[in-house]
Copies of this chain bind each other. A is one copy, B any other.
Amino acid sequence: MSAPYNRVALIGLGLIAGSMALAIRRAGLAGEVTGFARSAETRDVAREIGLCDRICDSLAEVVEGADLVVLCVPVGAMEGVAREIGPHLKPGATVSDVGSVKRAVIEAVGPHLPDAVHFVPAHPLAGTEHSGPRSGFAELFEGRWTLIVPPEGADEDAVQRLETLWQGIGAHTDRMEADHHDLVLAVTSHAPHLIAYTMVGVADDLRRVTDSEVIKYSAAGFRDFTRIAASDPTMWRDVFLNNRDATLEILGRFTEELFALQRAIRTGDGDHLHAYFTRTRAIRRGIIEAGQDTDAPDFGRGKKT
């Protein structure tokens, strides 16, 4: 496969940009990968570990001559970045992003881009609970989905080039409409994260159980929640503020269901509970069959590599 871009610029050097930089360079998918982060400390670390071919000290410099510019900053920071880079973008360049929310990003970023630039938003469904320039690794996207969310009338060649890049670093790609993307992610990611954050907070608040007990005896269940709840606070704040309606809709349904299960516990309705738990088991089987996870009995064991 020939390199789809001569120069790729990554803005925001956290887990996603760092992993993209390492993966793109390893696969030889760009002539040069430039990088910029707002924080001088992050830029220093990125230089020290050789994350990109070149780390730049300004937004104007990092996008200069770039064929692809990828915004890898929290969703709430994208509008400011778009406004600043707009005048410096090369005509014919593609601007993309990796935000977990798509409608809000399209509305925030789109208006600041010149007509001669293609805007193709995207969202890689991959991550860890770690963040920062040292957290990236080239294999992050392997076997994972990246959703491409082209606005109406997007240039087909620009969309395909972006798909080629993501596939080149190991991802599967699918196209999805922005509002539907935001609903799907509210179900599969945003609501679960908020729920995990909440449960971890409750555990911490409960005075009759000490923190050390919670930590020491955090058996199956709670440990997975804490892993989720350790994710980057700024990123997640912006996700919830920018996917408000879909998240609140899902949480509303969640609360309804939870109340029904609580009622079953209170009234001793074991049949209701058993039927519910049997149904959820089948969904897990579907996920394993779809190849999104393994069947290895690691849960509750911490046998993670």
Contact = CB atoms under 8 A, between A and B. Distances in A.
Contact count band on A: 35 or more
A277 B237 CA distance: 8
Interface stretch (A22-30, A36-44, A53-61, A266-274): A266-274
A91 interface: no
A230 B281 contact: yes
B284 A229 contact: yes
Interface in A76-103: 76
Nearest to A136: B297
A130 interface: yes
A38 to B, nearest CB: 17
A299 B227 contact: yes
A268 B241 contact: yes
A108 interface: no
A226 B283 contact: yes
A297 B127 CA distance: 9
Given A198-B254, A305-B305, 14 more contacts: A129-B297, A145-B219, A187-B203, A188-B203, A188-B214, A188-B219, A189-B221, A202-B253, A205-B257, A211-B283, A223-B293, A237-B273, A241-B273, A244-B268
